[in-house]
Amino acid sequence: MPDPSLDVLCIGNAIVDVIADATDDFLTDEGLVKGTMRLIDAGEAERLYAHMGPGRQVSGGSAGNTAAGVAALGGRAGFIGQVAPDQLGEFYRHDLTAAGVEFITPAADVGVPTARSMILVTPDGHRTMNTFLGAAQHLPASALDEEQIRGSAILYLEGYLWDPETPRYAMIRAIEVARRASRKIAFTLSDIFCVDRHRDGFGALLDDGRIDILFANQAEIEALAGVPHLDTAIAAVSGKVETLVVTRSEDGALATRGGERVEVPAEPIDALVDTTGAGDLFAAGFLVGEARGLGLERSLRLGAICAAEVIQHYGARPEADLRALAGELFA
C-alpha cells in the first residue's frame, strides 16, 4: 500500500456545543440525569433551549475533538461528518479547517439544521448533555470519500455515531474500505449508556475482527464485558482486538497488545477545570503515536499529555501548543 497521506481520519457526529450554566434544581425540574448524554428531537431541543440560560457556542463532537487534537499535535488529521448548509455548519467547518483538519464531507440539505448539543454545567463542574443530532444523523455512506479513507493510516470511529441508523451503515462501509486498504481501524465506546444501547452491535464488530484498536474507560469496558471488575473485563475483551486502550482518569491509562501490557500514570496537572474532551484528546495523542509507529508506551504517554492539557481549561479542544508539550516524545 502507498504511504498514507493522513495519519488519522476521524468519523463522527458533527456537533456544535451550546454551553450554559445551570443549577441542580434546573436539572431536577427538567428530569435530567447529571453527567449523562441524552439524545433529543427537534421539539425537545427547542423547548429546552427556551428554558436554559445564556450560552456560548463552540464546535464539538467527540471524533471532531480528536481530529483537532491530532492536528494540534502536528499529525495529519481528517474528519468525516455531516453538517447542514447553515450558519452552525459553516462555523463547524471553519473551526476544524482552521485547526488544520481536512474536512471535505459536503454539507447536506436534508431538511434539518446542523447538530447541536445543549450542555448544562452545574456549579460542581459536571456537564449534562442534551444532543439534537440534526444533519449529523443523516450522514450517508455515499458521502464518504473512499480515496481519503484508503489514504489514512488509521480510521477512527466514535461509538456515538452508532446511534442513528444511516451513519451506522456509513461506518460499516468505511470500515470495509479501510480494511481492504490494509489500514488500521480504531473505535471508541464513547459512553457507558452508548454501550448499553449497542452492546450487541459493538460486540459483533469486535467478534468479527473489524476493530484493531479499541478505546474505553473503565466503566465502558466493564459494561461491555458485563463484569464489574476491570482486569476481568480486560481479559474478556483484549483477545478480540489487536490493541486495547483503557483510560482511567487520574489513575492513568493502560494498553494491551498480544501478551504485552503497558501502563502509564496520568500527567500531573495544576488544576482540574473541565473534564470534557479528556477521552477524545487521549485518543488523539495515542493515535498519532500509533500512526507513526512509536510503540505502546510512547503512544500512551502522548495520549496522557493531550488529555492533561484539555482538562485544565474549559472546552474540549486543545488551546496550548500540544506539539511543544509533547517535546521529544513526538519530534
Of residues 26, 27, 91, 199, which one binds a second copy by CB under 8 A? 91
Q: Please, where are the H alpha helices in the chain? A: 24-30, 42-51, 62-72, 87-98, 146-150, 165-180, 192-197, 199-207, 218-225, 230-238, 278-291, 296-310, 322-326
Mapped onto helix, strand or coil, the DSSP state of residue 60 is coil
Torsion of CA 257, 263, 267, 272, to 10 degrees: 90
Determine the length of the chain.
331
Exposure b/e, 274-301, CB count within 10 A at least 16 = b: bbbbbbbbbbbbbbbbbbbebebebbbb
User: CA neighbours within 13 Å on the CB side: how many for 267?
Assistant: 23
Q: Rule CB under 8 A: say whether 26 interacts with a second copy.
A: no
Q: Does 296 bind a second copy (CB under 8 A)?
A: no
**Which residue stretch of 94-102, 217-225, 233-241, 279-287 sits at the interface with a second copy (rule: CB under 8 A)?**
94-102
Is 113 a residue that touches a second copy (CB under 8 A)?
yes
Sign of CA dihedral 232, 306, 296, 182: positive
Determine, following the binding rule CB under 8 A, whether residue 86 of this chain makes contact with a second copy: yes
What's the CA angle centered on 159, arms 239 and 237, to 5 degrees? 15
Among the listed ranges 37-45, 87-95, 103-111, 280-288, the one in contact with a second copy (CB under 8 A) is 87-95
Question: Under the criterion CB under 8 A, does residue 312 sit at the interface with a second copy?
Answer: no
Q: Which of 67, 80, 88, 224 binds a second copy (CB under 8 A)?
A: 88
In the bound complex, what is the minimum distance in angstroms from residue 45's beta carbon to a second copy? 12
d(CA 104, CA 161): 18
Antiparallel, parallel or unpaired: β 152-158 and 56-59: unpaired
Output 16 or 192, the one with its CB closest to a second copy. Answer: 16
Closest approach of a second copy to the CB of residue 153, in Å: 24
- 59 scored as a contact of a second copy (CB under 8 A): yes
CB of 271 to a second copy, least distance (A): 15
Among 28, 41, 42, 87, binds a second copy (CB under 8 A): 87
Q: Looking at 103-111, 189-197, 211-219, 314-322, which segment touches a second copy (CB under 8 A)?
A: 314-322
* Residue number, 52 or 288, with CB nearest to a second copy: 52
To the nearest whole angstrom, how small is the minimum distance from the Cβ of residue 215 to a second copy?
A: 24
The C-alpha atoms of residue 234 and residue 44 are separated, in whole angstroms, by: 38
- Does position 317 interact with a second copy (CB under 8 A)? The reply is yes
Q: How far is the CB of 251 from a second copy (least distance, A)?
A: 31
Q: Is 31 in the site for a second copy (CB under 8 A)?
A: no
Question: Closer CB to a second copy, residue 55 or residue 203?
Answer: 55
How does DSSP assign 82-94, residue by residue? ---SSHHHHHHHH
Nearer to a second copy among residue 95 and residue 158 (C-beta): 95
Should residue 52 be labelled a site residue for a second copy when binding is judged by CB under 8 A? Answer: yes
Q: How far is the CB of 91 from a second copy (least distance, A)?
A: 7
Of 136, 52, 145, give the one whose Cα is nearest residue 88.
Answer: 136
Bridge partner residues of 191 (DSSP): none
Look up residue 328 and give its three cell numbers.
521529544
Tell me if 67 contacts a second copy by CB under 8 A. Answer: no
Residue 53 touches a second copy, criterion: CB under 8 A: yes
- Contacts with a second copy by CB under 8 A lie at 18, 20-21, 49-50, 52-59, 68, 86-88, 91, 94-96, 98-99, 113, 315, 317, 319
